[in-house]
Chains A and B, each alone.
Chain A
Amino acid sequence: MREPTDPPVVGVLALQGDVREHVAALRAGGAEAVAVRRPGELAAVDGIVLPGGESTTMATLAARWGLLEPLRDAVRAGLPAYGSCAGMILLADRLLDAPPGQRTVGGLDVTVRRNAFGRQVDSFETRVELDGLAGGPLHAVFIRAPWVEEAGPGVQVLGRVVGGAADGRIVAVRQGDVVATSFHPELTGDRRVHALFVDIVRRHLADAERGEP
């Protein structure tokens, strides 16, 4: 049986991408982190992280190994989820500039544009202020990053790019227990985004134990 003091178990989709960095960041944030490649492994987690990587590769492998539908069902049913970069693309309900037929997990009522900031030569680092995150702006690393072109009414915009050609573009969102960032907090030493997500997973577990939705 789970004790209230036990750390939550957070899975990292481990089909491809910067899985190791997310695992380290989740552990630093107080979670037990495990790799998820199969439906049975997904069923055993309290929250799921969709890492940075190539969204087409992850979607192709997830579909081929029977993980896409279980992921979609789990997130729809309320499993807390966090996606960085490719993970944001996978959590989006709608995509722009994606190859025809690219499938997603969905769960976020947003339209995400792939490679929105440009190619690798345009990848950049900057600071982003995140709504509700104490301790000042985050050091944000954007790599062939997407942005949120449009967010539905139930989506909370957490952060935007300030300055430059992409001034005002949405790069961090939250809808219920689903969070997504265009950038990669796992590539910096700043663990605040992962701690925020672990806290969401904890609250979700506590609510579930009290029998609340």
Chain B
Amino acid sequence: MAEDLDRTDVGTVRVKRGMAEQLKGGVIMDVVTPEQARIAEDAGAVAVMALERVPADIRAQGGIARMSDPDMVQGIIDAVSIPVMAKARIGHFVEAQVLQALGVDYIDESEVLTPADEAHHIDKHAFTVPFVCGATDLGEALRRISEGAAMIRSKGEAGTGNVVEATRHMRALRAGIRRLATLDETELFVAAKELRAPHDLVTEVARLGKLPVVLFTAGGIATPADAAMMMQLGAEGVFVGSGIFKSGDPAQRAAAIVQATTFHDDPDVIAKVSRGLGEPMVGIDVETLPQSERYASRGW
């Protein structure tokens, strides 16, 4: 309560979730160098995700994908005035401690990196820095929120340039939320059991008609039209990973995706910004990926 507050009240739920509210309607871009971070900022990105390799390269090169080198994260923090996010492995709470100590503004506990724990996600309540987590459906989103995630994104299938999985996850999340709104109090107890999610969160979603945190989309967005479609499907903002800096003209494509996100309901604008963008990233058909290479199945 307000009466108990003093200057040192940092890392509250409101401050963590409120930070994500400020990113709404915006685009968060994967960058691997300070130069790319500045291109993203100039194009109108609301934040950057500091990474050593974009997901498409993680796929191509294989091996264990880990938190980025602190020097690399620091270089990007120093290069831009917009928020800087960074990824920690699922369950790797010490990577998260390191990223918090570096001063990153948000941590993505990400399936794009190789999971460090097969049973447990990070206890995100224990941190001052807020977390975003991926989800494929409503139950997974609510489990992450109960662990302290202050923002949710669809998982999609990162590094493919193929939006089909992000579409599936956004539709599943939305359908799950709509269904809860039709249930009575008794049925919500069963729904919580089926969703494997806490009953109080399930009740809150049923009452609000939305998640109690901001919902972005991620995983395969490569074009302005992809971004606008995700917004029309109910995303409140967009993560673009490999789609920008694996394309022919990153600065122009970045600016186009930012504009298509703001004017997602205006096909004339989307048509205008989609012209002359050059080559998009080369895509991968998700159906051809063996199960072991599908990042969306990491986490639970």
Q: List A residues at the B interface (Cβ < 8 Å).
A: 14-21, 37, 52-54, 56-57, 60-61, 64-65, 85-86, 97-99, 102, 114-115, 119-127, 137, 139, 141-144, 161-166, 184, 187-188
Who on chain A is nearest to B84 by CB? A119
- Given A54-B46, A56-B44, A143-B18 in contact, is the A120-B130 Cβ separation under 8 Å? yes
Q: How far is the CB of A177 from chain B (nearest CB, A)?
A: 25
Q: Are B24 and A53 in touch, CB under 8 angstroms? A: yes
Q: How far is the CB of B123 from chain A (nearest CB, A)?
A: 17
| CB neighbors of A among B183-242 (8 A) | none
B291 CB–A CB distance under 8 Å: no
Q: Are B14 and A187 in touch, CB under 8 angstroms? A: yes
| 14 extra interface residue pairs, beta carbon distance < 8 Å, beyond A64-B44, A123-B11 | A15-B25, A37-B262, A53-B24, A53-B46, A54-B82, A56-B81, A123-B15, A125-B9, A137-B2, A139-B2, A163-B6, A164-B7, A164-B8, A187-B21
Complex CA gap A126/B81 in Å reads 24
Q: Are B18 and A99 in touch, CB under 8 angstroms? A: no
Who on chain A is nearest to B266 by CB? A37
Most B CB contacts (10 A, CB to CB) among A64, A97, A121, A144 go to A121
- Given A126-B9, A139-B5 in contact, is the A61-B258 Cβ separation under 8 Å? yes
Complex CA gap A12/B81 in Å reads 24
Q: Are B25 and A14 in touch, CB under 8 angstroms? A: yes
Q: List B residues at the A interface (Cβ < 8 Å).
A: 2, 5-12, 14-15, 18-19, 21-26, 41-47, 80-83, 100, 103-106, 128-130, 255, 258-259, 262-263
Complex CA gap A173/B100 in Å reads 33
Q: Are B262 and A15 in touch, CB under 8 angstroms? A: yes
Complex CA gap A33/B19 in Å reads 23
CB-CB nearest 7 A-B residue pairs: A164-B7, A120-B105, A139-B2, A60-B44, A16-B25, A54-B46, A18-B21
Chain B residues whose C-beta falls within 8 Å of the C-beta of A61 in the assembled complex: 44, 258-259, 262
Pick from A21, A65, A125: contact of B12, CB below 8 A.
Answer: A125
14 interchain pairs, CB-CB under 8 A = A16-B46, A17-B22, A54-B23, A57-B44, A57-B258, A60-B258, A61-B262, A98-B81, A99-B41, A99-B80, A99-B81, A126-B5, A126-B6, A143-B19
Complex CA gap A117/B82 in Å reads 14
Q: Are B19 and A57 in touch, CB under 8 angstroms? A: no
Complex CA gap A115/B83 in Å reads 10
Complex CA gap A57/B25 in Å reads 10
Who on chain A is nearest to B261 by CB? A16
Pick from A124, A139, A141, A184: contact of B7, CB below 8 A.
Answer: A124
Chain B residues whose C-beta falls within 8 Å of the C-beta of A165 in the assembled complex: 7
Q: How far is the CB of B4 from chain A (nearest CB, A)?
A: 10
Chain A residues whose C-beta falls within 8 Å of the C-beta of B104 in the assembled complex: 119-120
- Given A17-B25, A125-B15 in contact, is the A163-B46 Cβ separation under 8 Å? no
Q: Are B25 and A187 in touch, CB under 8 angstroms? A: no
Complex CA gap A127/B6 in Å reads 7
Q: Are B259 and A64 in touch, CB under 8 angstroms? A: yes
Chain A residues whose C-beta falls within 8 Å of the C-beta of B80 in the assembled complex: 99
Pick from A18, A37, A98, A124: contact of B24, CB below 8 A.
Answer: A18
Who on chain B is nearest to A166 by CB? B7
Most B CB contacts (10 A, CB to CB) among A56, A97, A120, A122 go to A120
Complex CA gap A120/B129 in Å reads 7
Chain A residues whose C-beta falls within 8 Å of the C-beta of B258 in the assembled complex: 57, 60-61
Q: Are B105 and A119 in touch, CB under 8 angstroms? A: yes
Complex CA gap A115/B84 in Å reads 13
Chain A residues whose C-beta falls within 8 Å of the C-beta of B7 in the assembled complex: 124, 126, 161-166
Chain B residues whose C-beta falls within 8 Å of the C-beta of A142 in the assembled complex: 15
Q: Are B6 and A120 in touch, CB under 8 angstroms? A: no
Chain B residues whose C-beta falls within 8 Å of the C-beta of A53 in the assembled complex: 22-26, 46
Chain B residues whose C-beta falls within 8 Å of the C-beta of A52 in the assembled complex: 21-22
Chain A residues whose C-beta falls within 8 Å of the C-beta of B47 in the assembled complex: 54
Q: Are B262 and A16 in touch, CB under 8 angstroms? A: yes
Q: How far is the CB of B53 from chain A (nearest CB, A)?
A: 24
Q: Are B82 and A56 in touch, CB under 8 angstroms? A: yes
Pick from A15, A18, A163: contact of B22, CB below 8 A.
Answer: A18
Complex CA gap A19/B26 in Å reads 12
Complex CA gap A179/B4 in Å reads 28
- Given A121-B11, A121-B103 in contact, is the A85-B41 Cβ separation under 8 Å? no
Complex CA gap A138/B129 in Å reads 24
Who on chain B is nearest to A102 by CB? B81
- Given A37-B263, A126-B9 in contact, is the A120-B2 Cβ separation under 8 Å? no
